[in-house]
Amino acid sequence: TAKLQAAVVLNPGYSSIPPVFSLCLNWKGEKTNTNDDNIRAMEGEVNVCYKELSGPKPGYQLLTNQLQRLCVVLDVYLETEAHDNSVEGPKEFPQEKMCLRLARGPSRLKPFKYNYPQGFFSHR
């Protein structure tokens, strides 16, 4: 079982100033942006790429869209994590998302960017 904790900072100027997320994943140990490059990339998806998540004015729906994106990137993180073959039985999080590559580069970053028309996840 995985548990994601998200600390969210809401500025009084929200919706012109976006919320900021800080993540901690408890799954096979505690993972944060200081010890896991993929957690840092997940934070980037909601903190840096927030303009992709803004809905129509005047409501913007930014916070709810950030939370939805966070759920999706958590799914990608868990589904693309290597399975321990020494353990019998099904994977804890079977892969349901279509990804071109499961990891990229020396830091093994996962494909968190969703390509809407094609329906798959890729790397930024």
Residue 56 placed within a domain: yes
Structural domain that includes position 75:
3-82
Instruction: Tell me whether residue 120 is in a domain.
Output: no
Residue 33 domain-assigned?
A: yes
Structurally, the chain folds into a number of domains equal to 1
Helices (H), 16-55: 37-47
Whether 53 is covered by a domain: the verdict is yes
Compute the distance between CA of residue 20 and CA of residue 48 in angstroms, rounded to an integer: 9
Is there a domain that residue 104 lies in?
no
pLDDT for 5-54, tens place per residue?
999 999 998 878 899 999 999 999 999 999 999 999 999 999 998 888 88
Token pair in block for residue 88: 């019998």
Q: Judge whether 25 lies within some domain.
A: yes
Reported as type and span, the H/E element at residue 25 is strand 20-26
R_g over Cα of the chain:
15
pLDDT in tens, 64-105: 999 999 999 999 999 888 766 666 666 777 677 777 777 777
Is residue 48, in this structure, part of any structural domain at all? Answer: yes
- The model carries a pTM of 0.82
The β-bridge relationship of strands 113-115 and 20-26 is unpaired
Q: Decide if 55 is inside a domain.
A: yes
